[in-house]
Amino acid sequence: MSDALTVRFAAALRRLCPEGPVVAAVSGGGDSMALLALLADVGREVVVAHLDHALRPESADDARFVCEAAERLGFACELKRVDVAALAERRRMNVEAMAREVRYAFLAEVAKQHEAVCVLTAHTIEDNAETVLLQLFRGAGRALGIRAKQGRVARPLLEASRAELRAYLRERGLVWREDPSNQLTCYDRNYIRHEVWPRVSARFGRADEALLRYSQSQQADDESLGGLARARIVVDLRFAPLFGLRAEPLLAAPEALRRRALREVFERQGLRPERRYIELAERALAGESVSLGPFVLRHSRGGVIWIPPEPDLLAAARPPAGLRVRVARPGDRLRVRDVTKRLVDFLAERGVPPELRRVWPVGESDAGIVWVWRFLPAEEDDRWMRRALELARAAAARGEVPIGAVLVGAGDELGASANAVEEQSDATAHAELLALREGLKKTGAKVLPGATLYVTLEPCPMCMGALIEARVERVVWATENPKAGAVTRYGMALSLRLEGGRLARESARLLKGFFADLRGPKN
């Protein structure tokens, strides 16, 4: 039996991890000690890593046991002790989650120090089954189980059982240590392991294999669909450093892709992707204001802004020298184009959510408020988008669909155009393509790396393809294009940096007015 296990292990290791030194995560339990012995059998260069979580009085004995075993096999051993319980209390985290975070950070540190090609863990087929069940029971929205390879972490024992590994250790006369905390059913995983799984496996003899196949199928689907879902995440940077995303690309997506994309968004924000959170986020996309975990989600001009409990925008503000910088106060007023208005009204007109108006950075001189972060004077992105809007308005006056585009490189205008489909009798005479052609001609270059295109309406697939070929780095649009947008309508996964929402209301109003005039008055 042990020889067959060694052959299977060697094959899995070759598949998952190229030749070179590896770090083995060894706790001293039966699974990890079997991993250590199998690595000695196949002759890999190994650094043993053991993290003492300081959760039990005998944990120091476990550390000594592991290092002595590594020394007998001729392996280097790296130890670290962290008071995980105290750290979890300080960070207000679950002890299990904190232990996992600290453990993987330690393993990555050891791998970097020893230039290891992989970090190996001893997860088994039962570990995968428990993980699938936990993910389902906790409402994660998907049950991917444990991946055989994720980044630099590889799990070559994922198709082996605990019983098989312990039989291997007994056959070789090797010992291991049992962690008594693994018997405590107050922990969810231990409850599954000791109370649930024995009954499931007794009733369904090969349930672990079935759940492994299921998780592998889910992982393959996730890998294929993940890129399509991520394509729907278009950022809204109007209120950066706060996170924001455009609503329409997600609303227009099939439900499965929308929810997959939202799960990824939650993970980026440090939230568990529970179904109720997904439903709340969908309500926010549709226009509601909702509370989601520590955040308030506010809909603002086609974008959803994630507002933390105490937003600090002053740290991100970069005012001109010589101004006194502070947050907005009740009663603040400013002068805009010979008109004096309340600051709160000025910010509301620009789509700033209520929670941010009271903490919005302003700069004042003896003459009063002369600088408003993001808006006064206008930022570069807004200035270029206003130029594109001017071109779009001129196009509307000529009977063209009002879309304008400006191509910018190193702060200079390289090309600018409005739609000219009717004028040129050419279905490809889109504003983006005409601006791109002008920029290429002006520079004499074949490609324009680093350039940004500002356009009043999300580009179609034809224009996006041309921008990719020209190696344009960034595309900023005002409003989404539900009928022909490369992302919103067709869900294209693009290598460009995409941003939306700059002057969205102005662009949408111009387009709506143009088509209303085209249809004429209602009878």
pLDDT tens digits for the chain (523 residues)?
568 999 999 999 999 998 899 999 999 999 999 999 999 999 999 999 999 988 888 888 999 999 999 999 999 999 999 988 888 888 888 888 888 899 999 999 999 999 999 999 999 999 999 999 998 888 766 789 999 999 999 999 999 999 999 999 999 999 999 888 888 898 888 999 999 999 999 999 899 999 999 999 999 988 888 899 999 999 999 999 999 999 999 999 999 999 999 989 998 888 888 888 999 999 999 999 999 989 999 999 999 999 999 999 998 888 888 899 999 999 999 988 788 999 999 999 999 999 999 999 999 998 889 999 999 998 899 999 999 999 999 999 999 999 999 999 999 999 999 999 999 999 999 999 999 999 999 999 999 999 999 999 999 999 999 999 999 999 999 999 999 999 999 999 999 999 999 999 999 999 999 888 777 665 5
Helices assigned H by DSSP within 313-377: 343-349, 354-357
Residue of 163, 275, 161, 174 whose CA lies nearest to 212: 161
Can you tell me which residue has the tokens 């709340």? 280
Tokens of 435: 């601006």
End-to-end C-alpha distance for the chain, whole angstroms: 85
Cis (ω within 30 of 0) for the bond into 482? Answer: no
CA dist list (Å): 354 to 179, 280, 311, 351: 52, 19, 12, 9
Q: Which residues fall within 8 angstroms of residue 89, CB to CB, at 6 or more apart?
A: none
Distance of CA 282 to the CA centre of its chain: 17
Using an 8 Å Cβ cutoff, are 480 and 249 in contact? yes
**Can you give the pLDDT at residue 339?**
85
| Spatial separation of the C-alpha atoms in residues 147 and 128, rounded to whole Å | 9
Tokens in use for 238? 């109007």
Cα distance between residue 53 and residue 27, in whole Å:
10
Contact assessment for residue 23 and residue 107, using Cβ atoms and an 8 Å cutoff:
yes
Q: Which residues of 185-220 are buried (b: 16+ CB within 10 A; e: fewer)?
A: eeeeebbbbeeebeeeeeeeeebbeebbebbbebbe
Question: What pLDDT, on the 0 to 100 scale, is given for residue 522?
Answer: 59
Beta strands in 189-344 (DSSP E): 244-246, 290-292, 295-300, 303-307, 324-327, 333-336, 339-342
Helix (H, G, I), strand (E, B) or coil at 340: strand
Nearest one of 213, 211, 253 to 232, comparing CA atoms: 253
Give the burial class of 50: count Cβ atoms within 10 A of its Cβ; 0-12 exposed, 13-18 middle, 19 or more buried: buried
Q: What angle do CA 283, 287, 290 make, to 5 degrees?
A: 55
Please name every residue paired with 342 in a beta bridge, in sequence order, or none if there are none. 333
Spatial distance between the Cα atoms of 346 and 375, rounded to a whole number of angstroms: 9
State the pTM of this model. Answer: 0.79
Tokens 């791998």 found at: 111
Q: Are 251 and 512 in contact (CB under 8 A)?
A: no
Alpha-carbon distance 87 to 331, whole Å?
44
Name the H helices within 320-379: 343-349, 354-357
Q: Which pLDDT does position 523 carry in this prediction?
A: 53
- In degrees, rounded to 5, the angle at the alpha carbon of residue 134 between the alpha carbons of residues 188 and 216 is 145
Predicted pLDDT at 406: 98
